[in-house]
Amino acid sequence: MIPVRIVNQSGHALPAYQTTGAAGQDVCAWLPDGPITLAPGDWVAVPTGLYLEIPEGYEMQVRPRSGLAAKHAVTILNGPGTIDSDYRGELRVLMINHGREPFRIESGMRIAQLVLAIYGKIDWLPVDSLSESERGTGGFGHTGLTS
């Protein structure tokens, strides 16, 4: 377990794993001014009341909740979003309604999940060519649709 400092202004429970095998912790909306109705095609940055201090060398990924996507076509607009280790502002979740019906977001609703990920810094090494591989330049759909 990696310790992450957190300020919780929402009064809601801290983000939490919902099962023992979960990779992400669910995070809740904090809407002190009342619910938000998200019309079809609209998006909004939903506040959480949480402020994080992520250790250097890590990022916090903000990912969609599959249930919201499957049942309501509501997801994260920039998913997965990244919170950098030097960001100290409020964690807000950029949500979009791809559905046909308005979607009501209420305070305390679990709206996204957080996954802590380690990353490496890039040091570009310019070269004239790359090594060969079995895949080569095969890109989108190069393996076909059937087994």
Quick: pLDDT tens for 34-71. Answer: 999 999 999 999 999 999 999 999 999 999 999 999 99
Secondary structure (DSSP) of 106-130: -TT-EEEEEEEEE---------S--
What confidence category does residue 24 fall into, taking pLDDT thresholds of 50, 70 and 90?
Answer: very high
Q: Is it the case that residue 147 has pLDDT exceeding 90?
A: no
Please give the order of strands across the beta sheet that includes 110-118: 25-28, 110-118, 58-63, 81-83
Could you tell me which CATH number the domain at 18-118 has? Answer: 2.70.40.10
* Cβ neighbourhood burial of 145 (10 Å; 0-12, 13-18, 19+): exposed
Listed range (38-47, 115-124, 130-139) with the worst mean pLDDT: 130-139
pTM here?
A: 0.87
Quote the CA–CA distance of 147 and 140 in Å, as a whole number. Answer: 16
Quote the CA–CA distance of 94 and 43 in Å, as a whole number. Answer: 7
Residue 68 has φ and ψ, to the nearest 5°, of -65, -40
What confidence category does residue 137 fall into, taking pLDDT thresholds of 50, 70 and 90?
Answer: confident
Higher pLDDT, 137 or 131: 131
Q: Is it the case that residue 126 has pLDDT exceeding 90?
A: yes
Contact 38, 31 (CB under 8 A): no
